[in-house]
Amino acid sequence: MYRRYSDGMIEVITGPMFSGKSEELIKRIRILSYAEIPTLVIKPSIDNRFSNTDIISRNGNSIKSYSVSTTKEIKELFYQKKYKALVVDEVQFFDMSLIEFLDKLANQGIRIIVSGLDQDYLRRPFPIVAHLMAIADNIEKLKAVCLICKRAASCSFRTSKSDNTIEIGDTDIYEARCRECHVKDSSTK
C-alpha cells in the first residue's frame, strides 16, 4: 500500500500506566540496536522509580539510557555523536520546547521514538504528548487491564489524595481503569 517510510519519522507509544509502554519501547530500541543504528536513549531525571541509568521494563529487561531534565541537555547529548535515532521515555515530563527539536531532527532524517502517558489521572491530555501525537507518523496506543472490571483500560486512576498533576508512583498510588470505572469513582470523590 505504501512505499517504505523515509528514515526520518516520529513514532509515539502511548496509553495509561501499566499498559506496557516501556516494554514496547525497549523492543523497538532492541530492533534499532540489531540494525546497528546509533541510538540515543533519554529519560527524564524526575522519573527514578526503578533506576537512575537504565530504562527498566517491568519484565526485568533493561537498556542503558541518559537521565536528563531539559531539552538543552538532550540537544547537547545528541550532537556529541553521529546518532541516527533518538528515543525519549516518559516524554510527558519534558517541556514543550522538545517538540520543535524532535520535529527538526525527523525532518533531517533522524528516527524519533517517544513513549509517554497521553492523559493524567483526571483524563486531561498531557499537552506535549497530544502535540506529538498530532505530528507523529505512527502512533501505538496501548491498553492496560482495568483493575476493577478486568476489561481493557485506557485511563490511569490515582488512589492517593494529592492534587499535583505529576506525582511519581507505581501500583502504590495508581491503577489502570476503563473509562466507566474511572468516571464512576472520580465523580464520587
Structural contact between residues 106 and 87, judged by C-beta atoms closer than 8 angstroms: no
Q: Is 144 in the site for Zn ion (CB under 5 A)?
A: no
Using alpha carbons, list the distances in angstroms from residue 155 to 78, 115, 125, 152, 178.
33, 16, 11, 10, 6
Please, what is the minimum distance in Å from the beta carbon of residue 148 to Zn ion?
5
Q: Tell me the window of 14-22, 105-113, 132-140, 176-184 that interacts with Zn ion (CB under 5 A).
A: 176-184
Cβ proximity to Zn ion, 126 vs 157, nearer residue: 157
Q: Enumerate residues 6+ apart whose C-beta is below 8 A from 151.
A: 145, 178
- The secondary structure element, H or E, covering residue 184 is helix 179-187
Question: Counting contacts by CB under 5 A, is residue 31 touching Zn ion?
Answer: no
Is 146 a binder of Zn ion (CB under 5 A)? yes
Query: Residue 68 forms beta bridges with which residues?
Result: 44
The three-class DSSP label of residue 182 is: helix
Among 41, 88, 110, 181, binds Zn ion (CB under 5 A): 181
The smaller minimum CB distance to Zn ion, of residues 55 and 153, is found at: 153
Shortest Å, Cβ 146 to Zn ion: 3
134 binds Zn ion (CB under 5 A): no
CB of 30 to Zn ion, least distance (A): 32
Measure the CA–CA gap between 39 and 66, rounded to whole angstroms. Answer: 11
Q: Does 184 bind Zn ion (CB under 5 A)?
A: no
Q: Which positions lie near Zn ion, rule CB under 5 A?
A: 146, 148-149, 178, 181
